[in-house]
A and B are shown apart, each in its own frame.
Chain A
Amino acid sequence: MTAISDRTAAKSTSINGAAAKHRPGALASSGSPLVRPPAAAHLTDEQVAEMGRELDAIRDDILAKRGASDAAYIRRVIKVQRGLEISGRAALLMGRNKAAWVTGTTLLSLAKILENMEIGHNILHGQWDWMRDPDIHSTTWEWDFVTPARSWQHTHNDLHHRWTNVVGRDNDVGYNLLRMDADQPWKPHNLGNPLYNAILAPIFEWGIAIYDLELVDYQEGKKSKEAMKRDLKALGRKVITQFTKDYAATPAVAMLTGSGKQALYGTLTANAVRNVWAHAVIFCGHFPEGADTFTEEMVEGETRGDWYVRQMIGSANISGSKFMHLMTGNLSHQIEHHLFPDLPSNRYGEVAPKVQEICKRYGLPYTTGPLLKQVGSSWAKVFKLALPGKKS
């Protein structure tokens, strides 16, 4: 009856009646990009199209199966997360006791990680919109993270997922802060790459919040003053509520038991732990050795099949246990997530072997490795690109 197009390019900025006509980033129905990325240069147009159809079939298969068990999954995760958060904060009320402080801080860290990764990130992608539940929906969800959900959805779902790893288009390549690709021109301040990254990790949520303001676009006149004002206001409100909860209200309650200071430190630690973890996981998504970046010619004329190719060879997975996958919000299945950003995250694991098999059959790289190796690989890039030099 109807077919959902999962193009991530759907946000239309024009308000007039021509909105339907100009859709930047819309995909070509046939042909090939001006330049096919080197890793896929051996494929013909027909092969790419055929591979696209195979990936579509994988997606359709999940859409057909998606149902009550998936709904039960996300509700269970949400319940566990809220339980962890309440227990963590309760334990911090007795933070004067060292064991209670460690327990509380650990539980709260876990809760915040789950909230941001498996719950927030994925709900905000619209992975659970099909349930039509206003309590678990991309248009109503707000997360325990400084940047307002709507701002993040714009820079992440729309810009990053549409322009994945296209240097000059996808600002996630270095977040306007780090030099993360050899094609980005070297400047003396890039010497500080490792230092900036080390500082960024524990305050990652603030980095994202500033990044989502799109300051560069504003300076270049691509973002209007009104939009900037609106975003600043939304961020200001979010900062105040987040700050009040974590650093004023909950410590104030803990003061009743004489643990105010301990509760404050515990929450501060939990936020930092979450930030370091999120930073590590997210850096493993596109920066480890093996994940490619692209030029604008490689996107020009891109078909659905080529779009899939770019998502696969531009992303990197993390291998590990089920628990690890959960704590990364299944971003350990970054390749599958980029292929199908709105499929429920609990299905990526089952899709992964099929995607890997397709990559093998078509001679495309499928980058994956254990967490430490991938973290090491992306840090190596941070160090290497601090120094001038072209792509090898």
Chain B
Amino acid sequence: MIRLRKLARAASVLTTPLAPEDVLALFNPVFSARQLRGVVTKVIPETADSATIHFRPGRGWKAHKAGQWARIGVELDGVRHWRSYSLSAPAGQDPAITVSDVGAVSGVLVRQTKPGDVLFLAPPQGDFVLPEHPRPLLMLTAGSGITPVMSMVRTLVPHRPDADVVLIHSARTPEDSIFHEELSELADQFPNFRVTHWYTGERGRLDFGSTAQLEELCPDWRQRAAYACGPEGFLDDAEALWSSEAAAHEKAAPGPFAADPISLIIERFNTSLVGGAGHDGGLVTFEASDREVEADGGTPLLDVGEDAGVLMPSGCRMGICHSCLLPLRAGQVRDLRTGEVHGEPGQLIQTCVSAAAGPVNLDI
């Protein structure tokens, strides 16, 4: 690797102002000096509107841990769009994402991707990963929330005889249930893996209002490290249940010596923004890029910049990863999650969840 870099630097004497990768890209699209890329190797339809896309990443990719996600860049009508997707392949194998057609970008990925296509990538990240030390696990998933958990199940279940995993997966119907067959097969083959398919079309949503249903599906749920991934409401309800149980637990056995703390690790796919606030907004100036854009008070500055063609750093687009931080030069911004207006010159702001509150200057 290091030798390759030295070689590239030597070769750039011949290619400047281009990098040697720019020339190599003529022959293999994975090469780029600036942008990690991958080539699609296989596309497997999962349900009517989801598919798994396997890809071979170029140099610079880090092997993923089970449960992590990566940002994937896709071109829609010539414009690059970035979204985050959980990796569904087990750790140690070439990466794959499983995508459900829920928007313009995922729609293109599901319907139009074919082997040989180039995907733009950012290295995998995320803390929704398996515990360091073996513990009995409870996985609660709903809809496409199964994808990171699938990577965990595939990593753990076939390779660890000591694994003890219970998965409760909600989907509307069996047809909508991603990985339905594979999960059933794994459960048949490995006694240490138990799956409950919960079809909301038949039985309604899983009730986290009380512990009753959970007791029935997994009586020892309190002893398990719990993981949850799914839509906002599903996670909020699960979180509420776990925190009230943890409070009760604390009361019964106070102090730091409580044997098995009740834990729930969650992975959110979306964050609700106070969208369309309707007021404020203003002229946004991207100083180094020489762009000025009139923006409304409900659009994240990240979107405003991207629409103006500014190369905005971006990440999760939900206010958690801080990949999109930019220094504010002047003006104030509104946090779209809370409605709070803040900002001082020099402050780093999260452009993905901040909108203009009056004129704003950004240092990019």
Contact = CB atoms under 8 A, between A and B. Distances in A.
B296 A144 contact: no
How many residues of B sit at the interface, in one of the four size bands?
A: 35 or more
A132 B311 contact: yes
B17 A20 contact: no
B309 A135 contact: no
B294 A3 contact: yes
B1 interface: no
B363 to A, nearest CB: 9
Contact of A20 (B13, B26, B35, B330): B330
Contact of B78 (A4, A70, A86, A140): A70
Contacts of B15: 245
Given A1-B307, A5-B293, A131 B79 contact: yes
Contacts of A142: 17
B290 A10 contact: yes
A220 B22 CA distance: 42
Interface in B313-364: 329-331, 345, 359-361
Interface in A202-249: 241-242, 244-245, 249
A227 to B, nearest CB: 15
B288 to A, nearest CB: 7
B330 A129 contact: no
B276 to A, nearest CB: 11
A68 interface: yes
How many residues of A sit at the interface, in one of the four size bands?
A: 35 or more
Contacts, number: 132
A17 interface: yes
A139 interface: yes
A169 to B, nearest CB: 18
Contacts of A130: 78-79, 309
B135 to A, nearest CB: 42
A82 B14 contact: no
A82 B23 contact: yes
Contact of B359 (A5, A20, A82): A20
Contacts of B289: 126, 129, 138-139
Contacts of A86: 23, 26
A2 B306 CA distance: 11
A144 B361 CA distance: 33
B16 interface: yes
Nearest to B81: A132
B101 interface: no
A8 B287 CA distance: 12
A337 interface: no
Given A130-B79, A139-B289, A4 B22 contact: no
Contact of B361 (A20, A67, A133): A20
A245 B13 CA distance: 6
Given A17-B345, A135-B35, A139-B289, A71 B311 contact: no
Nearest to B364: A139
A91 B127 CA distance: 54
Contacts of B292: 4-5, 7, 10
B34 to A, nearest CB: 5
Nearest to A128: B309
Nearest to B34: A134
B265 interface: no
Contact of A143 (B17, B35, B288, B295): B17
Given A86-B23, A129-B309, A135 B34 contact: yes
A97 interface: no
B349 to A, nearest CB: 15
Contact of B306 (A5, A79, A132, A139): A132
B299 interface: yes
Contact of B16 (A72, A79, A131, A241): A241
B32 A135 contact: yes
A2 B287 contact: no
A331 B17 CA distance: 23
A321 interface: no
A11 B290 contact: yes
A62 to B, nearest CB: 13
A83 interface: yes
Contacts of A372: none
Interface in A106-132: 126, 129-132
Q: Among B16, B17, B18, B331, which residue has the most Cβ atoms of chain A within 10 A?
A: B17
A16 B78 contact: no
Given A19-B287, A242-B16, A129 B79 contact: no
Contacts of A244: 13, 16
A158 B275 CA distance: 35
Nearest to B287: A12
A135 B22 CA distance: 9
A71 B290 contact: no
A1 B331 CA distance: 20
B285 A4 contact: no
Contacts of A241: 13, 16-17
Closest 6 CB pairs of A and B: A129-B309, A71-B78, A142-B17, A67-B77, A132-B80, A130-B309
Interface of A: 1-5, 7-8, 10-12, 15-20, 66-72, 79, 82-83, 86, 126, 129-135, 137-140, 142-144, 157-158, 241-242, 244-245, 249-250, 253
Interface of B: 13-18, 22-23, 26, 32-35, 75, 77-81, 283, 285, 287-296, 299, 304, 306-311, 329-331, 345, 359-361
Given A129-B310, A143-B17, 19 more contacts: A2-B308, A3-B294, A4-B291, A4-B307, A18-B330, A19-B329, A70-B78, A71-B78, A71-B79, A129-B309, A130-B79, A130-B309, A132-B306, A132-B309, A140-B34, A142-B17, A245-B13, A245-B15, A249-B13
29 contacts: A4-B309, A5-B293, A10-B291, A11-B287, A12-B361, A15-B329, A16-B330, A17-B330, A19-B285, A20-B285, A20-B361, A70-B78, A72-B78, A82-B18, A126-B291, A129-B289, A129-B309, A130-B309, A132-B306, A132-B311, A135-B32, A135-B34, A138-B289, A139-B289, A241-B16, A242-B16, A245-B14, A245-B15, A249-B13
